[in-house]
Structures are given as structure tokens and as C-alpha cells.
């Protein structure tokens, strides 16, 4: 820990300057955070409040740059060495509060560089290009997306057929998953503090084992004859007294936090050339960096390099929807075959209907018929629900109804009632009825009964009132021993 004259023991903090008190509180919480149950996030919020108050208290003193330097040095060391990702974010926010001048930002950059190895920042700031060795990057098998067949090993061998009761390493992303990977950003979670998360928390008991796929080599050919591997940038974080930087989180997530901070500082300083060179070094560390760098290149009208960066990212990261969309426009202007292939992969891998429609618009009738038949075969094999969606999108409603009947699913029947039911309302009602009867008997509870009432509302307009009332009476008779069920139906107007 950087010493600058303030005691770190909270028992000695009484009577000290306010920022020293806030610092002592923050350090005390961090020291004991692994000893308490913080599933509620209470202590995490208290830590955030202490760090924020520390920065605000220092900022309120309106110090010149020289007097700010010890505080910036301390905060940067804590940012790099924080044991928890959310604490690292809190220190980063504090630094952004405190560093208000170019001199502050330059010093922050200098301090950050002192704790990180593997980022050639001196070369970046002097606008020197990295060597050929620095430019090589490596992609591990776990992070490779080979769904479009663009990256294959010449020495590849056949692998055992995949089974439904096993998860494979290649089913996951090539980088640690964030909270947003599970919440989709729909809820704000400061940190996951309920202990180590396990695979079964997310997949239940649907999979009996986790299998590691056989390794594959992914190569990228440069302008020369010799292939070069694409290697991930490797940066090391120097340990600090307060940090446990040899942890898995520190070596992976923290690296990306540090790179994000480099990006922020260079943007604030307006070092555009340095920023572009930094992105050149780190763009395969995460999809986010790859997308940001590709967008910068496109904005600078450097479409050729943007396409190379995007193609590297597509090979490196498993879910590459945004990257493929980034490549689409440059391909359209340069290579129509690649443009069609990109749109086709976007639809097959991500069911992007815009890609489907854009692809149709650039194909003649014969080409489109062949591609559409390929879509049918793929969805018929892999996802029958997507096949129904394909037929509905094409307005081929009779085929959609046939598919719904052959692969009866209550949620799908409800989902496609509006477009498909008008083709044969009575038959659709009967299909719905056959699925709802066992569903009604399957469970109890008012939430379940309200679901049944919702389904009845969907069915009500499909047949004459007398036929519908006959079915409702049948359900009431069958479940006459469930007063709550009858009560929920009555509330819904049945």
C-alpha cells in the first residue's frame, strides 16, 4: 500500500482529516468483507459510500495537481489491487472524480502503467508500432466460434457426436461471464456476493456432465505466405499489499477493467493515435474492445482494417452477432458473396429477421429458394419453434399450423394464435384444448390457475360461445374440488 502519512487503522482515525476517516472505513470494510455474509450487498454499498466520500472530500479542497498526486497514487494502487470487482469499480469512479485536469490524468496514467506489465504504453504514447511478435495473438479453443466454418484446422479429425445430456466447454464464451450475461442488463446488480456460483445454478440438472472438446488450432493468414496465430494480449498486474491479484478474477476481469481505464484516460486526454494503437494491442481481450475498435476504424473510413478486426473477433468470440453486423456494411460495398454469407450466418445463428430480409433483397428468386430450403432443413433439425417462426414470417400459415400440430407446445400455440388461428379457427381451438386439459391438471396454486384463465381468454374468440362455454364447464367439473381454481375463473369472468 502506498504510504502518504494517513493512518490506516480506523481506531486511530478519530480527530484526523475527514478523508482519512473515509479511507480508514473503506480499508476496514475491505479487510473483513470475506468474513461476513454480504448477500444483501449492504457492506458493498457501505464500501462504495466510503470510497465516494473519500474522493469527494479531497475534491472539495480544490487542491493543485502537486497536492493531489499522493491521493491519485493511493487510489490507483487500490484500484489495481482491489480484491473484488465492484470495489475496483468504486476506486475507478473515485479517480474520475479526483482527476479533473490533464496533469492529473497524465499522472494517473503513469501510476497505472507502474502496476501493469504487458501493455506497451510507452510505445503507444510515442506512437511507435508494435513488433511483429507483439502483433501475434492467440485464440483458445474455448473461445472459438466456428459455426460458419470459416476457421478450421487442416488436421482436424471427427469428434464424437454431441449429446443432449452434456455441456461442452465450447458452449460457453471464451471469457469470464459478467452479471449482465445472466440478467441481460434487465436488473442492476452491484455485485454477486452470495458465494461461488455453480454451473447447476443456471442449467439445473439438465446436463449430467461437462465435457472438454478436443483442441483446435485457429489460424489467420496475413498478406504473406506464412500463417500466424492470433494471440490474446497478456497483461500482468503487479500485486499490492491490499490486493490478491493472483486470483482468477484479478487476472481476467481486472485486466479488462484496467484496459477500460486506459481507454478512458486516453479519450479524456484526446490522444487519438495512442488510443487506436492501444486498441490494436487489446482488441481481442473482449468483444467490447473489439467492437469499439472496429467502430473507430469504420468512422475513420478504414474499412479494410475494420473487416480484419471483425473477422478476428468472430473467430475469437463465441457469440458474434454485433461483430457480424459491423462487418455487413463494409462487405456490401466490397464483397457481395461475403455480405450474403454474413447475413446468412446472422440469421442461422441468431435468428436476425432483418438479416433474413436483407439477404432476400440481394438474391434472385432461384438463389433465394435454395437458401430458404436450407433454412427449412436447419430449423427442422435444430429448432422446430424457429421453423414455425420462419413460416409465419413468410406468411406460409398453413405450413406453420401443420408444424404446430406436429410439435404441440402450449406456449407456441398461444404465441402464434393471432397469425395462424384464422387459417382454421375450430381446429386451432381443438389443438389448444388438447394441450390445456393436461396443463390444467398438472399443477395447483393461484398463479397456475391465473395462467389457465389467460389461456382461456386466448381461446374464447376461436369458436362460437356455446362451444367455448362447454369447454369451460368441462374444466370446472373436472376441478370442482379446487375452490381456488373456480374462484380464479370467476374473477376472470368465466
How much is the pLDDT for 256?
84
- pLDDT score recorded for residue 144: 32
Amino acid 362: pLDDT: 93
When divided into structural domains, the chain yields a total of 2
Q: Is residue 97 part of a domain?
A: yes
pLDDT 10s digits, 85-107: 788 889 999 999 999 999 999 99
Q: From residue 406, how far is each of 137, 379, 415, 425, 449 by CA, in Å?
A: 48, 14, 16, 17, 27
Identify whether 267 is part of a domain.
yes
Q: Let me know if residue 26 belongs to a domain.
A: yes
Q: Is the pTM of this model over 0.85?
A: no
User: Which residue range forms the structural domain that includes residue 64?
Assistant: 10-132+235-285
219 burial via Cβ count (<10 Å: 0-12, 13-18, 19+): middle
193's CB contacts (< 8 A; 6+ apart) are 38, 39, 41, 44
Task: Identify the pLDDT of residue 216.
Answer: 32
Question: How much is the pLDDT for 145?
Answer: 37
pLDDT of residue 84: 77
443, part of any domain: yes
Query: Which cell numbers hold the place of 421?
Result: 388461428
Q: Is residue 117 part of a domain?
A: yes
Per-residue confidence (pLDDT) for residue 135, from 0 to 100: 37
pLDDT of 317 = 86
Extract the residue ranges of the chain whose pLDDT is less than 70: 1-16, 116-252
Residue 213 confidence (pLDDT): 37
* One-letter-per-residue 3-state SS of 27-86: HHHHHHHHHCCCCCCHHHHHHHHHHHHHHHHHHHCCCCHHHHHHHHHHHHHHHHHCCCHH
Last residue of a domain, one of 285, 320, 349: 285
Q: Are 282 and 234 in contact (CB under 8 A)?
A: no
pLDDT for position 407:
83
Q: pLDDT value at position 452?
A: 92
- Structural domain contains residue 152: no
Q: Please report the pLDDT score of residue 16 as a whole number.
A: 63
In this prediction, residue 117 carries a pLDDT of: 60
pLDDT score of 119: 56
User: Cell 479517480 belongs to which residue?
Assistant: 95
Amino acid at each position: 500500500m502506498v504510504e502518504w502519512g494517513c493512518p490506516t487503522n480506523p481506531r486511530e482515525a478519530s480527530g484526523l482529516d475527514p478523508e482519512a476517516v473515509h479511507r480508514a472505513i473503506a480499508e476496514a470494510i475491505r479487510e473483513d468483507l470475506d468474513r461476513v455474509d454480504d448477500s444483501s450487498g449492504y457492506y458493498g454499498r457501505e464500501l462504495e459510500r466510503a470510497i465516494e466520500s473519500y474522493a469527494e472530500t479531497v475534491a472539495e479542497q480544490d487542491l493543485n495537481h502537486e497536492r493531489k498526486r499522493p491521493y491519485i497514487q493511493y487510489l490507483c494502487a487500490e484500484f489495481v489491487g482491489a480484491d473484488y470487482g465492484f470495489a475496483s469499480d468504486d476506486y475507478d469512479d473515485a479517480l474520475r472524480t479526483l482527476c479533473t485536469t490533464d496533469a492529473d490524468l497524465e499522472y494517473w496514467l503513469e501510476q497505472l502503467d507502474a502496476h501493469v506489465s504487458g501493455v506497451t504504453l510507452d510505445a503507444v504514447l510515442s506512437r511507435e508500432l508494435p513488433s511483429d511478435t507483439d502483433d501475434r495473438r492467440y485464440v483458445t479453443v474455448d473461445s472459438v466460434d466456428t459455426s460458419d466454418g470459416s476457421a478450421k484446422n487442416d488436421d482436424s479429425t471427427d469428434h464424437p457426436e454431441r449429446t443432449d445430456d452434456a455441456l461442452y466447454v465450447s458452449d460457453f464464451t471464451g471469457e469470464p461471464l459478467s452479471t449482465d450475461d445472466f440478467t441481460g442488463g434487465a436488473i442492476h446488480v452491484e455485485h454477486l456476493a452470495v458465494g461461488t456460483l455453480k454451473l447447476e445454478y443456471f442449467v439445473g440438472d439438465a446436463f449430467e456432465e461437462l465435457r472438454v472438446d478436443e483442441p483446435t488450432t485457429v489460424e489467420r493468414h496475413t498478406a504473406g505466405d506464412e500463417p500466424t496465430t492470433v494471440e490474446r494480449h497478456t497483461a500482468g498486474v503487479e500485486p499490492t499489499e491490499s490486493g490478491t491479484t493472483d486470483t482468477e478474477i484479478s487476472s481476467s476481469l481486472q485486466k479488462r477493467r484496467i484496459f477500460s481505464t486506459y481507454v478512458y484516460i486516453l479519450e479524456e486526454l484526446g490522444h487519438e493515435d495512442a488510443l487506436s494503437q492501444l486498441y490494436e494491442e487489446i482488441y481481442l481481450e473482449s468483444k467490447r474492445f473489439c467492437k469499439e475498435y472496429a467502430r473507430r476504424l469504420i468512422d475513420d473510413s478504414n474499412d479494410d482494417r475494420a473487416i480484419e478486426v471483425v473477422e478476428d473477433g468472430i473467430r475469437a468470440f463465441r457469440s458474434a452477432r454485433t461483430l457480424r453486423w459491423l462487418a455487413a456494411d463494409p462487405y456490401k460495398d466490397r464483397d457481395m458473396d461475403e455480405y450474403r454469407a454474413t447475413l446468412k450466418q446472422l440469421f442461422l445463428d441468431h435468428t436476425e429477421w432483418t438479416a433474413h430480409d436483407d439477404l432476400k433483397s440481394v438474391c434472385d428468386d432461384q438463389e433465394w429458394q435454395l437458401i430458404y430450403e436450407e433454412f427449412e432443413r436447419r430449423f427442422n433439425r435444430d429448432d422446430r419453434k424457429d421453423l414455425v417462426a420462419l413460416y409465419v414470417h413468410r406468411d406460409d400459415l398453413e405450413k406453420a399450423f401443420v408444424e404446430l400440430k406436429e410439435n404441440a407446445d402450449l406456449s407456441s400455440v398461444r404465441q402464434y394464435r393471432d397469425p395462424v388461428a384464422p387459417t382454421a379457427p375450430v381446429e386451432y381451438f381443438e389443438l389448444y384444448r388438447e394441450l390445456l386439459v393436461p396443463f390444467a391438471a398438472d399443477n395447483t396454486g393461484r398463479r397456475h390457475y391465473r395462467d389457465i384463465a389467460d389461456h382461456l381468454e386466448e381461446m374464447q374468440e376461436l369458436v362460437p360461445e356455446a362451444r367455448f362455454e362447454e369447454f369451460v364447464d368441462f374444466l370446472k367439473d373436472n376441478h370442482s374440488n379446487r375452490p381456488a381454481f373456480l374462484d380464479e375463473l370467476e374473477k376472470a369472468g368465466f
